[in-house]
A and B are shown apart, each in its own frame.
Chain A
Amino acid sequence: MPCVGDWLNSPLSIVQGIFAQNVPNSDWEKKVTEYFKEKLKENNATNWVPSLNDVPVHYLKPNSLVKFRCMVQDMFDPEFYMGVYETVDPNTNARVLHFGKYRDVAECGPQQEIDLNSSQTVTLERQTFYCVPVPGESAWVKEISFFDCKIICGFLNPQCHAYISASQARVSPSTSYTPSRHKRSYEEDEDMDLHPSKQKEQHMGKSCCSGGDIHGCVEPKRLETEASAGHHVISPNCSPPLDLNFPLPGEKGPACLVKVYENWESFKVNDVLEVFGVLSVDPVLSIVNSEERDSSTLDPMECMDTAEEQRVHSPPASLVPRIHVILAQKLQHINPLLPACLKEEESKTCEFVSNFMSELSPVRAELLGFLTHALLGDSLAAEYLILHLISTVYARRDVLPLGKFTVNLSGCPRNSAFAEHLYRLIQQLVPASYHLRMSIESMNHSRFIPHKDYTANRLVSGLLQLASNTSLLIDETQLEQGQLDTAGVHNVTALGNLITWQKVDYDFNYHQMEFPCNINVLITSEGRSLLPSDCQVHLQPQIIPPNMEEYMSSLLTAVLPSVLNKFRIYLSLLRLLDYSISDEVTKAVEEDFVEMRKNNPESVTADDLHKMLLVARFLSLSAGQTTLSRERWLRAKQLEALRKARLQQQQCVNGNEL
Chain B
Amino acid sequence: MSSPASTPSRRRGKRGRGSNPSTPQDARSPPSQKRRTDDSTSTGDLQPMPTSPPADVQSPGAADALFSSPPQFRHSAIPLDFDISSPLTYGTPSSRVEGTPRSGVRGTPVRQRPDLGSVRKARQVDLHSDGLAEDIAATEQSLGQKLVIWGTDVNVASCKEKFQRFLQRFIDPVDKEDEDIGLDLNEPRYMQRLHEINMVGEPFLNVNCDHLRSFDENLYRQLICYPQEVIPTFDMAANEIFFDRYPDSILEHQIQVRPYNALKTRNMRNLNPEDIDQLITISGMVIRSSQLIPEMQEAFFRCQVCAFTTRVEIDRGRIAEPSVCKNCNTTHSMALIHNRSMFSDKQMIKLQESPEDMPAGQTPHTVALYAHNDLVDKVQPGDRVNVTGIYRAVPIRVNPRVSSVNSVYKTHIDVIHYRKTDSTRLHCVDEETEQKRFTEERVEMLKELSKKADIYERLALALAPSIYEHEDIKKGILLQLFGGSRKDFTHTGRGSFRADINILLCGDPGTSKSQLLQYVYNLVPRGQYTSGKGSSAVGLTAYVMKDPETRQLVLQTGALVLSDNGICCIDEFDKMSESTRSVLHEVMEQQTLSIAKAGIICQLNARTSILAAANPIESQWNPKKTTIENIQLPHTLLSRFDLIFLMLDPRDEAYDRRLARHLVSLYYRSEENMEEEYMDMAVLRDYIAYARSYVNPRLGEEASQALIEAYVDMRKIGSGRGMVSAYPRQLESLIRLAEAHAKVRFSEKVEAIDVEEAKRLHREALKQSATDPKTGIVDISILTTGMSVTARKRKEELAQALRKLIQSKGKAPSLKYQQLLDDLRAQSDIAVTKEMFEEALRALADEDFLTVTGKTVRLL
Chain A residues at the B interface, C-beta cutoff of 8 Å: 74-75, 77-82, 85, 100, 103-108, 110, 112-114, 116-119, 121, 123-125, 207-208, 265, 268-271, 284-285, 287-288, 291-292, 299-305, 395-400, 402, 452, 454-455, 457, 459, 489, 493, 501, 508-511, 513-516, 579-581, 586, 589-590, 593-594, 597-598, 601, 605-607, 609-610, 613-614, 617, 628
Interface residue B67 (Cβ < 8 Å from any Cβ of A): no
Q: Smallest CB–CB gap between B250 and chain A, Å?
A: 33
Residue interface bits B23-66, CB-to-A below 8 A is 1, else 0: 01001001101100110010000000000000000000000000
Q: Which of A597, A607, A614 lies in contact with B656, CB distance below 8 A?
A: A597
A613 touches B667 (CB 8 A): yes
Given the complex of chains A and B, what is the CA–CA distance between A281 and B272 in angstroms? Answer: 27
Q: A207-B402, A513-B355 are in contact. Are A119 and B346 (CB under 8 A)?
A: no
Q: A590-B660, A605-B649 are in contact. Are A301 and B394 (CB under 8 A)?
A: yes
B403 touches A601 (CB 8 A): no
Q: Which of A124, A268, A400 lies in contact with B515, CB distance below 8 A?
A: A400
Interface residue B473 (Cβ < 8 Å from any Cβ of A): no
Smallest CB gap from B521: residue in A: A399
Interface residue B657 (Cβ < 8 Å from any Cβ of A): yes
Q: Which of A300, A508, A597, A613 lies in contact with B355, CB distance below 8 A?
A: A508
Contact residues in A for B368 (Cβ distance below 8 Å): 304-305
A400 touches B409 (CB 8 A): no
Contact residues in B for A516 (Cβ distance below 8 Å): 360-361
Contact residues in A for B653 (Cβ distance below 8 Å): 594, 597-598
Given the complex of chains A and B, what is the CA–CA distance between A78 and B391 in angstroms? Answer: 14
B288 touches A590 (CB 8 A): no
A-B contact pairs, 26 of them (CB 8 A): A75-B365, A80-B408, A81-B407, A82-B407, A105-B404, A106-B407, A112-B403, A269-B362, A269-B363, A288-B402, A300-B346, A303-B348, A396-B671, A398-B681, A399-B466, A399-B519, A457-B288, A508-B355, A510-B382, A579-B668, A589-B664, A590-B661, A597-B651, A609-B659, A613-B663, A613-B664
A581 touches B664 (CB 8 A): yes
Smallest CB gap from A399: residue in B: B518
Interface residue B510 (Cβ < 8 Å from any Cβ of A): yes
Interface of B is mostly: mixed
Q: Smallest CB–CB gap between A213 and chain B, Å?
A: 17
Interface of A is mostly: mixed
Q: A119-B38, A597-B656 are in contact. Are A508 and B364 (CB under 8 A)?
A: yes
**Can you add 8 more A-B contacts, CB < 8 Å, to A105-B405, A117-B33?**
A75-B363, A399-B518, A452-B363, A455-B288, A511-B355, A513-B364, A601-B651, A609-B659
B358 touches A77 (CB 8 A): no
Q: Which of B288, B359, B363, B406 lies in contact with A285, CB distance below 8 A?
A: B406
B409 touches A80 (CB 8 A): yes
Interface residue B397 (Cβ < 8 Å from any Cβ of A): yes
Interface residue B173 (Cβ < 8 Å from any Cβ of A): no
Smallest CB gap from A395: residue in B: B671
Kindly identify, within residues 680 to 734 of chain B, every residue whose CB is under 8 Å from any CB belonging to chain A. Answer: 681
A81 touches B34 (CB 8 A): no
B402 touches A284 (CB 8 A): yes
Given the complex of chains A and B, what is the CA–CA distance between A396 and B37 in angstroms? Answer: 55
Contact residues in B for A515 (Cβ distance below 8 Å): 361
Contact residues in B for A271 (Cβ distance below 8 Å): 361
B668 touches A581 (CB 8 A): yes
Q: Smallest CB–CB gap between A110 and chain B, Å?
A: 6
Q: Smallest CB–CB gap between B13 and chain A, Å?
A: 20
Smallest CB gap from A626: residue in B: B668
A301 touches B317 (CB 8 A): yes
Given the complex of chains A and B, what is the CA–CA distance between A606 and B646 in angstroms? Answer: 17
Smallest CB gap from B514: residue in A: A500
Smallest CB gap from B466: residue in A: A397
Q: Which of B24, B511, B519 lies in contact with A398, CB distance below 8 A?
A: B519
Q: Smallest CB–CB gap between A629 and chain B, Å?
A: 13
Contact residues in B for A513 (Cβ distance below 8 Å): 355, 358, 364
Q: Smallest CB–CB gap between A635 and chain B, Å?
A: 16
Contact residues in B for A80 (Cβ distance below 8 Å): 273, 276, 393, 408-409, 411
B403 touches A304 (CB 8 A): no
Q: Which of A119, A288, A589 lies in contact with B406, CB distance below 8 A?
A: A288
A304 touches B466 (CB 8 A): no
Interface residue B295 (Cβ < 8 Å from any Cβ of A): yes
Interface residue B367 (Cβ < 8 Å from any Cβ of A): yes
Q: Smallest CB–CB gap between B254 and chain A, Å?
A: 26
Given the complex of chains A and B, what is the CA–CA distance between A516 and B362 in angstroms? Answer: 11
Contact residues in B for A285 (Cβ distance below 8 Å): 406
Q: Which of B30, B285, B370, B403 lies in contact with A116, CB distance below 8 A?
A: B30
Contact residues in B for A581 (Cβ distance below 8 Å): 664, 667-668
B30 touches A207 (CB 8 A): no
A121 touches B360 (CB 8 A): no
Q: Which of B358, B364, B403, B408 lies in contact with A110, CB distance below 8 A?
A: B403
Q: A265-B359, A594-B657 are in contact. Are A104 and B38 (CB under 8 A)?
A: no
Given the complex of chains A and B, what is the CA–CA distance between A590 and B288 in angstroms? Answer: 58
Residue among B34, B359, B399, B405 with the most chain A CB within 10 A? B405
Q: A304-B348, A454-B350 are in contact. Are A397 and B405 (CB under 8 A)?
A: no
Q: Which of B41, B348, B522 lies in contact with A399, CB distance below 8 A?
A: B522
Contact residues in A for B401 (Cβ distance below 8 Å): 291
Q: Smallest CB–CB gap between B232 and chain A, Å?
A: 23
Q: A510-B285, A580-B668 are in contact. Are A609 and B406 (CB under 8 A)?
A: no
Given the complex of chains A and B, what is the CA–CA distance between A620 and B522 in angstroms? Answer: 34
Interface residue B8 (Cβ < 8 Å from any Cβ of A): no
Given the complex of chains A and B, what is the CA–CA distance between A397 and B364 in angstroms? Answer: 25
Smallest CB gap from A99: residue in B: B407
A81 touches B651 (CB 8 A): no
Q: Smallest CB–CB gap between B96 and chain A, Å?
A: 28
Q: Which of A110, A288, A454, A511 lies in contact with B288, CB distance below 8 A?
A: A454
Smallest CB gap from A627: residue in B: B668
Smallest CB gap from B523: residue in A: A398
Contact residues in A for B512 (Cβ distance below 8 Å): 606
B649 touches A601 (CB 8 A): yes
Smallest CB gap from A107: residue in B: B404
Q: Smallest CB–CB gap between B24 and chain A, Å?
A: 5
Q: Which of B27, B272, B407 lies in contact with A125, CB distance below 8 A?
A: B272
Interface residue B395 (Cβ < 8 Å from any Cβ of A): yes
B659 touches A123 (CB 8 A): no
Q: Smallest CB–CB gap between B857 and chain A, Å?
A: 37
B407 touches A594 (CB 8 A): no
Q: A121-B30, A489-B534 are in contact. Are A397 and B355 (CB under 8 A)?
A: no
Given the complex of chains A and B, what is the CA–CA distance between A517 and B633 in angstroms? Answer: 37
A586 touches B515 (CB 8 A): no
Q: Smallest CB–CB gap between A451 and chain B, Å?
A: 12
Interface residue B203 (Cβ < 8 Å from any Cβ of A): no
Smallest CB gap from A515: residue in B: B361
Smallest CB gap from B382: residue in A: A510
B404 touches A106 (CB 8 A): yes
Given the complex of chains A and B, what is the CA–CA distance between A470 and B381 in angstroms? Answer: 36
Contact residues in A for B276 (Cβ distance below 8 Å): 80, 123
Which A-B residue pairs are the 3 nearest by beta carbons? A268-B361, A106-B407, A397-B466
Q: A81-B407, A457-B366 are in contact. Are A606 and B534 (CB under 8 A)?
A: no
Contact residues in A for B801 (Cβ distance below 8 Å): none
Smallest CB gap from B367: residue in A: A77
Smallest CB gap from A204: residue in B: B403
Interface residue B106 (Cβ < 8 Å from any Cβ of A): no
Contact residues in B for A112 (Cβ distance below 8 Å): 403
Interface residue B464 (Cβ < 8 Å from any Cβ of A): yes
Contact residues in B for A77 (Cβ distance below 8 Å): 365-367
B350 touches A117 (CB 8 A): no
Contact residues in B for A493 (Cβ distance below 8 Å): 534
B667 touches A617 (CB 8 A): yes
Q: Which of A268, A304, A397, A607 lies in contact with B362, CB distance below 8 A?
A: A268
Given the complex of chains A and B, what is the CA–CA distance between A94 and B41 in angstroms? Answer: 17
Residue among B38, B381, B659, B681 with the most chain A CB within 10 A? B659
A397 touches B667 (CB 8 A): no
Interface residue B290 (Cβ < 8 Å from any Cβ of A): yes
Given the complex of chains A and B, what is the CA–CA distance between A291 and B24 in angstroms? Answer: 28
